[in-house]
Amino acid sequence: MFEGLKETLDRFKDDVEEQAESVDAETEADTDVDTVEEKRDQDQKREDPAPPDRDPSEDPETVEEDDREVSVGFGKRAKAFATGGVIIQPEHLDEPLETLELSLLSSDVEMGVAEEILAGIRENLEGTVRAQVQSTDMVLESALKEALFDVISVGQFDFDQHVAETDKPLVMVFTGVNGVGKTTTIAKLARYFERHGYSAVLANGDTYRAGANEQLREHADALDKKFIAHEQGGDPTAVLYDAVEYARANDVDIVLGDTAGRLHTSNDLMAQLEKIDRVVDPDMTLFVDEAVAGQDAVQRASEFNDAAEIDGAILTKADADPQGGAAISIAHVTGKPILFLGVGQEYDDLERFDPEQITDRLLEGDVEDR
Ligand SMILES: Nc1nc2c(ncn2[C@@H]2O[C@H](COP(=O)(O)OP(=O)(O)O)[C@@H](O)[C@H]2O)c(=O)[nH]1
Ligand SMILES: [Mg+2]
């Protein structure tokens, strides 16, 4: 999964290294040079080593300080040279960042998110290079990692701890358009919660679609969970209300409430979600969408969040998504975290979304194997 994004990031690292090398070669005659030999030559030729804000003729100590500064700079460069690194200058980044932006956009990363990542990389790189010398690859790696982590980790909280600390029954309602994997995700979460020692009841608030009851009932049977439903065309709020009552009476920890997947622009749906909010007052409303929908998923996440505030998102079909743009963008755009990734059609194909692990995977991990 996300191979496209991983390739994009790999290419960026190569581009910067290449730029740093070729710009060095071009600037041989410049005063600002980057290799040990050039530095030595330049030091001998240099007539005025003082930075513009100082006047060495007025203060002899300053001259000494300046000499020391130059030699520290020289040490850094020598070390960079010895470790096979090249000092990265701001101008090394211009072209690679431009290429990176285009690649991010074509990997379905949302525009504002791409810009944030670029600004983060530039800031991290310019800061880091001045502070210490590492190999170019390490410098780039950590700059990318930090910039990505910053946009991916927006809004993250400890989901398991939140579940543990919330009064039971904890009510979760799932929204999102039709076909993205809401019902499947509810079944997967029932399994997830069982693993964590919680009981769950599955409630079908999708009273709109024919066959919705049967689909969720089959999952409930397979997972040995209580299933609550009304007839097709009934009031979804009433179904969820019944499920909460059942959970209270039977000490069930978690209510997982499905809803109909109609267009987020539909007033009906929004009125429905509002009524659910008012009557059932869910602890969490989770937005479900498919990673493969890319920019569309990002757009819908934002619209759903505007219409009926969500607490987090679940991104399904990540196993089939070569791009990764939605996974990178949704949290930043909505301000709400991605909590889980769906990675297949089996009940166990659900992973906690761990921003650190995702960034590691994108930058180091062998994503093809995941
Ligand atoms: N590959 C893959 N398929 C999934 C995943 N989650 C759901 N699906 C499939 O997506 C289709 C629609 O799922 P469903 O739960 O009915 O969507 P809903 O209409 O939102 O309730 C089904 O065929 C699921 O098996 C996932 O994480 N990976
Ligand atoms: Mg469904």
Closest CA to 247 of 256, 255, 239: 255
Looking at the fold, whether 215 and 344 belong to one and the same domain comes out as: yes
Binding residues: 176-183, 258-262, 316-319
360 lines ligand 1 (CB under 6 A): no
25's tokens = 């070669």
Which stretches does DSSP call E strand in 176-311?
200-205, 226-228, 254-259, 284-290
pLDDT for the residue 273: 84
User: Bigger pLDDT: 122 or 29?
Assistant: 122
CATH assignment at residue 289 = 3.40.50.300
Binding-site residue ranges for GTP:
176-183, 258-262, 316-319
226-228, strands of its sheet edge to edge: 226-228, 200-205, 254-259, 170-175, 284-290, 312-316, 338-342, 350-352
Least confident piece of the model among 131-140, 257-266, 332-341: 131-140
pLDDT for 301-315, tens place per residue? 998 898 888 999 999
- Is 239 found in the same domain as 188? yes
> For residue range 72-86, what is the model confidence (pLDDT) as tens digits?
455 555 555 555 556
315 and 177, same structural domain? yes
pLDDT higher than 60, residue 49:
no
The residue range of the domain holding 107 is 3-152
Of 171, 338, 349, which Cα lies nearest the Cα of 256? 171
Nearest ligand atom owner, CA of 184: 1
pLDDT digits (tens, 9 = 90+) for 208-239: 888 999 999 999 999 999 999 999 999 999 99
Whether 32 shows a pLDDT value over 50: the answer reads no
What's the token pair of residue 34? 């980057």
Q: What pLDDT is stored for residue 237 in this prediction?
A: 95
Is the model's pLDDT at 341 over the cut of 80? yes
Residues 23 and 142 in one domain: yes
Q: What is the mean pLDDT of residues 54-61?
A: 47
Domain boundary residue among 106, 121, 152? 152
